[in-house]
Amino acid sequence: MGTWSHESFGNDTANDWAYELEDATDFAVIEAALQVALDEGDE
């Protein structure tokens, strides 16, 4: 079972994203996150 919290990096999904971002060599991780936000914005 994963961890959940109201804090910015107090859950597994946010931590996984931060680790992925730390290892990134380009902007692909940020672009993907922004695309998800844009896709969800119209719903």
Handedness of CA 25, 32, 30, 1 (dihedral sign): negative
Segments of the chain with pLDDT less than 50: none
Mean residue pLDDT of the chain comes to 85
Determine contact, residues 19/29, Cβ cutoff 8 Å: no
Q: What is the pTM of this model?
A: 0.65
**pLDDT reported for residue 22:** 95
